[in-house]
Structure 1
Amino acid sequence: MNRAEKAALQLQAVAVLRMLKETRTYDELAELTGLPAGDLNRYVNGHVLPGIERAREVVQGVGRDALATELESRVEFDDEGYVDNSGVVFDQSFLDLVAPVAANTLGFERPDVVLTAATDGITLGAAMASYFDARVAYAKKSKETAVEEFIESRQRLASGIELTYYLPTRALSSGENVLIVDDLIRSGETQELLLDIALQSDADVTGVFALISVGTEGIDRAREITDAPVGALTTFDDE
């Protein structure tokens, strides 16, 4: 880890601590993190940065649990099992905290391109791309008028509906590292189409990440296609 990466990790830890401090006293934050309240006060107020090991513990340990808990409090399910995650995907500052936590806990290799599906995956894709200093590309269910060449992936769903995603050919190049992200994974159908697009491009998949997994079917489906890390920030039972 070079100096810039160390500094970035330390700043990410401070950002996580500041989010946690919004609803807690320093004593409560100390109990949660296992760090002295006085040190936490100095970190949160910007007087000093946590050491590398402390920063890593905050981001990879406390940070993931805290963000998962915060995400769960913002998600709602209706009587038919549909998910309303607008309280998450519309909050770019929250997603900016998710990116380093996901990257560090799941061990994604640095991608050249973050690939997602329009439209709900775009804000998460932007956050992940910003963290990795990568490009972001998103596949759409319709072709853009001014684009002539597309990578197309098509699948007939169990319901009989045909789902197709299109990505401009120039968005991905052979040999590039691609991280696939989306706001939600349930059946894994969308992720399978995105993986197919990456494979058609001769790109190397470095991972698959979703904010929310409803059940494990989609996660398992993605793991059958790629050997790269696959995971979600939090998982809800599929009832």
Structure 2
Amino acid sequence: MKKIKRSGRLVDMTYFLIQRPHQLVSLSYFSERYQSAKSSISEDLTIVKEIFESQGIGSLLTTAGASGGVKYVPMVNEQEGRQLVKELCEKLEDKERLLPGGYLYMMDILGRPKHLNEIGRLFAAVFSQQKIDAVMTVAMKGIPLAYAIASHLDVPVSIVRRDHRVTEGSMVSINYVSGSAKRIQTMSLARRSLPEGSNVLIVDDFMKAGGTARGMMDLLAEFKANVVGIGVLVEAQDVEERLVDDYVSIARLAEVNQKENRVQAVPGNFLDKLKEVTQK
């Protein structure tokens, strides 16, 4: 790249970092990219850091030493987080999405890249201080959500299936009890999709009793993996027994009245978790 003015460097540097979250980029790389002295690059990064943090976009972490550099960590400030959660709750309260059994139609949310990108950033922010090697979910509806989160964490996605596929090679399978239906079901994960000892973030689009999340935790034990967190887009509130305790939910269904065709959605515990992260 030919030598450009500071204004051009700041624009290109900002775009470069946002496209590569959680990747360590050396000052030498930027120095060569812009044909500028490292002292100038350091000044540029200070400006970018101030803008990122003042606007709640994220933060730049600097690592010293020969192998050091700078890393962009996506974040969400409390005001923006509260607004995004409010908008999601309002979408969920659309009575047209109510399905038999108290479920909600959510593919209009999971199918819109803009909504998913915002939701992915919310989860990435609240889990930003965790060491995460992979995001895991169960096919099918959880897949777009998992990829949205993984893109902001810069980690791969491991997809658990309820059937065996010859194209995925050797599989590890377990039986688990569905938390809501109390049925014995099977879930499987390809052996080569997740290295042993990985730190994994479990993701689910909807949770009632948490049987699916509990099953994924048991499956991860077969890989000697560590569960660093559980992220749930929407959780049901009226549940007799929850099979998982520690999780982060964006929204909670406070009321689902099929007779009156009414849904009331309220914020989950996400905002409390976000506050804990930003205050550290």
Cα distance in 1 for partners of 2:112, 2:18 equals 21
Letter in 2 for 1:72: C
Does 2:247 align with 1:230? yes
Give the equivalent residue in structure 2 for 1:196: 218
Cα distance in 1 for partners of 2:249, 2:205 equals 9
Cα distance in 2 for partners of 1:117, 1:137 equals 9
Give the equivalent residue in structure 2 for 1:63: 80
Letter in 2 for 1:64: G
Quick check: 1:186–1:218 contact (8 Å CA) kept in 2? no
Give the equivalent residue in structure 2 for 1:164: 186
Does 2:87 align with 1:73? no
Q: Which runs of 5+ in 2 are unaligned?
A: 1-12, 22-49, 59-74, 257-280
Cα distance, 1:108 vs structure 2: 5.4
Cα distance, 1:103 vs structure 2: 2.5
Cα distance, 1:64 vs structure 2: 2.0
TM-score, normalising length: structure 1:
0.70
In percent, how many aligned pairs have the same letter? 20
Quick check: 1:219–1:231 contact (8 Å CA) kept in 2? no
Quick check: 1:111–1:178 contact (8 Å CA) kept in 2? yes
- 1:155-201 CA distance string (max 9 Å, x none): 24474532111110111111211110011111101101111111211
When residues 209 and 148 of structure 1 are mapped into structure 2, their CA distance, relative to the original with a 3 A threshold, is same
Cα distance in 1 for partners of 2:53, 2:189 equals 39
* 1:91 corresponds to which of 91, 112, 120: 112
Residue pairs, 1:203-214, within 5 angstroms: 203-214=225-236
Structure 1 or 2: larger helix share?
A: 1
When residues 186 and 206 of structure 1 are mapped into structure 2, their CA distance, relative to the original with a 3 A threshold, is same
Give the equivalent residue in structure 2 for 1:34: none
SS of 1:129's partner is helix
Cα distance in 2 for partners of 1:159, 1:114 equals 26
When residues 216 and 64 of structure 1 are mapped into structure 2, their CA distance, relative to the original with a 3 A threshold, is farther
Give the equivalent residue in structure 2 for 1:114: 135
Instruction: Tell me the matched-pair count.
Output: 194
When residues 151 and 162 of structure 1 are mapped into structure 2, their CA distance, relative to the original with a 3 A threshold, is same
Cα distance, 1:238 vs structure 2: 5.6
Q: Which runs of 5+ in 1 are unaligned?
A: 12-48, 224-228
Letter in 2 for 1:119: M
Cα distance in 2 for partners of 1:238, 1:153 equals 33
Cα distance in 1 for partners of 2:158, 2:55 equals 34
SS of 1:59's partner is coil
Letter in 2 for 1:84: Y
Cα distance in 1 for partners of 2:240, 2:228 equals 17
Quick check: 1:188–1:218 contact (8 Å CA) kept in 2? no
